[in-house]
Amino acid sequence: MLAFAANSLLCRATLAGGLSDATTFTTLRLVGGAAALGLLVRARGGGAPGAAGGWLSASALFAYAFGFSLAYRHIPAGTGALLVFGAVQITMLGGGLLSGERPSLYEWLGLALSLAGLVALTRPGLSQPHPLGAGLMMVAGAAWGLYSLRGRGAGDPLSVNALNFTRAVPLALLASGLGLVLAHPHLTPTGASLALVSGAVTSGLGYAVWYTALRGLTATQGAIVQLSVPPLTALGGVLLLDEHLSVRLVVAGAMILGGISLAIAGRRR
C-alpha cells in the first residue's frame, strides 16, 4: 500500500508540476516496470515454471495506469481518491461474491467504517467532478480491481508481473503514437526520472509484492486493505510536499485503518 501511495504522489507531482504529459508519463512508467522486473527475473535465473502473464491482465494494467494519469488532469486528488477506490471496492467485492465468497459481519462493518473514513477524508474538498475525469478514474479503478482479482492465483508474482508489464508496453507505445498526432506531448528530465521510478520501483516491485500478499487475502479483504492508500497518500503529502496535517486527516485515517483491522481480525476470528 505504501508503493501505491507513492505512485499517487509521483503522478501528482509530475502532472501538476507540468513535468510531463499523462501519456508519456504512463508509457515511461510501464517501460520502467517491465525493464526492472525483467532484469530481476533474469538475475534470478529465469521465470518460474508455469508462470504466464495474460493479455487480459496486461490490458487491465494499461487501462488502470493510462486512465489514472489522464483523470488527474481534470479532477482534484480528493475526488480522484474517492472515485478510484470506490470503483475498486465494487469490482473486487463483486468478483468475490460471484466466486462464492460470503463476507462476514466483521468484514461488512469494517468496510462500512473504512468507507466512512474515506468520505470524511475527501468530502470537504469535493465539488461537482469533471465528467471526463470522473469517468476515466472509475475505469481506472475497475481495471485495477480486475488486475488484482486475476493476480490472486496467477503463479509466481515476479514472473507474472514481468510478463504483464512487458505486454502492456506495446499498448502504451500505441497510445503515445496517437498522442503525437492528437496532442502536444512534453517531457522534462525530472519528469522522466519520476516516471521511471514510478514504473521500476513503486509499480513493478510494488505490484509483485501485492500479488504475493493477495495469496493470503480474500477478494473482500484485498478490496478493504486498499482503502488505506488515501490516508497514506495524504500523510506522504504532509511529510514530502509540506501539506498541512489536519485533525480531519488524523481522525479519518484512524477510521479507515480501524475498519481494515476489524475486517481482517474478524475473518481470522
Q: Could you tell me which residue, 57 or 230, shows the higher pLDDT?
A: 57
pLDDT for position 26: 92
Tell me the C-alpha distance between 16 and 21, whole Å. 10
**Distance between first and last Cα of the chain:** 24
Domain containing residue 123: 2-268
pLDDT for position 266: 64
Tell me the C-alpha distance between 129 and 72, whole Å. 11
Q: Could you tell me which residue, 113 or 30, shows the higher pLDDT?
A: 30
Coil, strand or helix: which one is 187?
Answer: strand
pLDDT for position 269: 53
Domain count within the chain:
1
DSSP letter (8 states) at residue 49:
T
pLDDT for position 31: 94
**Is the CB of residue 7 less than 8 Å from the CB of residue 206?**
yes
Tell me the C-alpha distance between 258 and 209, whole Å. 23
Give the model confidence (pLDDT) of 136-177 as tens digits.
888 998 998 888 888 776 678 888 888 999 999 999 999 888
Q: Could you tell me which residue, 151 or 3, shows the higher pLDDT?
A: 3
Coil, strand or helix: which one is 20?
Answer: strand
pLDDT for position 25: 92
